[in-house]
Structure 1
Amino acid sequence: MTDTTCPSCGAVAAAGSKFCESCGVSLGGESPAAPVATPALDDLSPISAPTRRKATDPVVDTGPRPCLVCQGVVGPDGYCETCGAKAPTERDHFRETPASWVAGVCDRGIVHHRNEDAMALLASETPGERAVLVVLDGVSNSIDSDVASLAGAQAAREALRTPFPHGMGTPASRASAITQAFVTAAAAANAAVVSVTDPASTNPASATFAVVVVEGDLLAHANIGDSRVYWLPDGGPAVQLTVDDSAAQQQMDAGVPRAVAETSPQAHAITKWLGRDAPDITPRTGQLEITGPGWVLACSDGLWNYASEPEALAAQIAAAGTVEPLELALALTAFANAQGGRDNITAALARVEPAAIAQDSGQNASEPALDHQEESDG
Structure 2
Amino acid sequence: MMSQMDQLSARSTCPNCAEPVESGDLFCGACGCDLSAVAPAAPDRPTLAIGTPVPPPAMPGWPAAEERASGEPSAQSAGDLPGTDSGGRDLQAPVRHDTPAGAADGDYPLAAPDPRTAEHSPAVPPGAKLCVACRAGRVDGDGYCENCGHAQPRERDHIEEELGQVAAVSDRGLRHHRNEDAFAVSSTALPDGSPAVVAVVCDGVSSATRPDEASAAAASAANESLLAALPLGTHPQQAMHDAILAAGEAVNALAEESGAREHDPHQNSPACTIVASVVAGGLLIVGWIGDSRAYWVPDDRSAPPARLTEDDSWAAQMVATGLMSEAEAYADERAHAITGWLGADAYELDPHTAAFKPDRPGVVVVCTDGLWNYAEAPEEMARVLAPDAAVRPLGAAQVLVGHALDGGGHDNVTVALLPFAVPPQGAGSPYRTS
**TM-score, normalised with respect to structure 1:** 0.68
Query: For 1:194-243, what per-residue CA distance to the aligned partner results, in whole angstroms no more than 9, with x for missing partners?
Result: 22222332411111111111114211111111111111111221111111
C-alpha distance in structure 2 between counterparts of 1:190 and 1:238, whole Å: 30
C-alpha distance in structure 1 between counterparts of 2:331 and 2:202, whole Å: 22
Choose from 201, 224, 227 the match for 1:135: 201
1:354 match: secondary structure: coil
Residues 123 and 78 (structure 1 numbering): CA distance in 2 closer, same or farther, change over 3 Å? farther
C-alpha distance in structure 1 between counterparts of 2:154 and 2:289, whole Å: 28
Choose from 86, 96, 99 the match for 1:46: 99
Choose from 214, 219, 233 the match for 2:298: 233
Contact 2:200 2:275 in 1 (8 A): yes
C-alpha distance in structure 2 between counterparts of 1:326 and 1:21, whole Å: 34
C-alpha distance in structure 2 between counterparts of 1:41 and 1:139, whole Å: 28
Q: Which residue of structure 2 aligns with residue 157 of structure 1?
A: 223
Contact 2:189 2:230 in 1 (8 A): no
Choose from 318, 336, 340 the match for 2:404: 336
**Backbone CA RMSD of aligned residues:** 4.0
What one-letter code is carried by the residue in structure 2 that aligns with 1:230? Y
C-alpha distance in structure 2 between counterparts of 1:87 and 1:41, whole Å: 35
Q: Which residue of structure 2 aligns with residue 364 of structure 1?
A: 426
The structure with the largest alpha-carbon Rg is 2
Q: Which residue of structure 1 aligns with residue 420 of structure 2?
A: 352
C-alpha distance in structure 1 between counterparts of 2:48 and 2:155, whole Å: 28
- Alignment coverage as a number of residue pairs: 301
1:337: how far off?
1.1
1:190: how far off?
1.2
What one-letter code is carried by the residue in structure 1 that aligns with 2:259? P
Residues 249 and 277 (structure 1 numbering): CA distance in 2 closer, same or farther, change over 3 Å? same
What one-letter code is carried by the residue in structure 1 that aligns with 2:426? N
Choose from 189, 199, 209 the match for 2:259: 199
Q: Which residue of structure 1 aligns with residue 354 of structure 2?
A: 286
1:138: how far off?
0.8
Choose from 106, 113, 119 the match for 2:177: 113
Contact 2:389 2:395 in 1 (8 A): no
| Percent of residue pairs bearing the same amino acid type | 41
1:278 match: secondary structure: coil
1:124: how far off?
4.9
C-alpha distance in structure 2 between counterparts of 1:293 and 1:260, whole Å: 36
Residues 90 and 265 (structure 1 numbering): CA distance in 2 closer, same or farther, change over 3 Å? same
Residues 286-325 of structure 1 mapped to structure 2, 5 A cutoff: 286-318=354-386, 323-325=391-393
Structure 2 runs not aligned, ≥5 long: 1-13, 20-27, 34-46, 51-96, 103-127, 134-150
Residues 266 and 319 (structure 1 numbering): CA distance in 2 closer, same or farther, change over 3 Å? farther
Instruction: Answer yes or no: is 1:181 the counterpart of 2:239.
Output: yes
Choose from 133, 145, 153 the match for 2:211: 145
Structure 1 runs not aligned, ≥5 long: 1-5, 12-19, 26-39, 50-74, 81-85, 168-173
C-alpha distance in structure 2 between counterparts of 1:288 and 1:125, whole Å: 20
Residues 119 and 189 (structure 1 numbering): CA distance in 2 closer, same or farther, change over 3 Å? same
1:245: how far off?
1.1
C-alpha distance in structure 2 between counterparts of 1:316 and 1:103, whole Å: 17
Contact 1:210 1:227 in 2 (8 A): yes
C-alpha distance in structure 2 between counterparts of 1:42 and 1:91, whole Å: 34
Query: For 1:241-288, what per-residue CA distance to the aligned partner results, in whole angstroms no more than 9, with x for missing partners?
Result: 111111121133245555654453112211111101111112111000
C-alpha distance in structure 1 between counterparts of 2:159 and 2:222, whole Å: 18
